Amino acid sequence: MTNRIQDLQKLIKLTGERAKLDAKANGTYIVYQGDNGKIVREYANGIIEEVENTGIIHD
């Protein structure tokens, strides 16, 4: 079971790294939930900004 968790953690990390590379290549950004629980945009130049109210309601 531990190997599955480690494999999943590695896959998640690789997916995030790939998203960053794609964003850099396309001049865009990635969006994710930060450590503080807020949604953030991270640009290829390293700038991170919090996303204000998106108007999307999650159930």
- Lookup result for tokens 């997916």: 15
| pLDDT tens track for 17-52 | 999 999 999 999 999 998 888 999 999 899 999 998
Q: Three-state SS for 43?
A: strand
Q: What is the pLDDT of residue 56?
A: 65
Say yes or no to pLDDT of 57 above 70.
no
Angle, CA 19 vertex, CA 49 and CA 54 arms, to 5°: 40
The band of 15, judged by pLDDT with boundaries at 50, 70 and 90, is very high
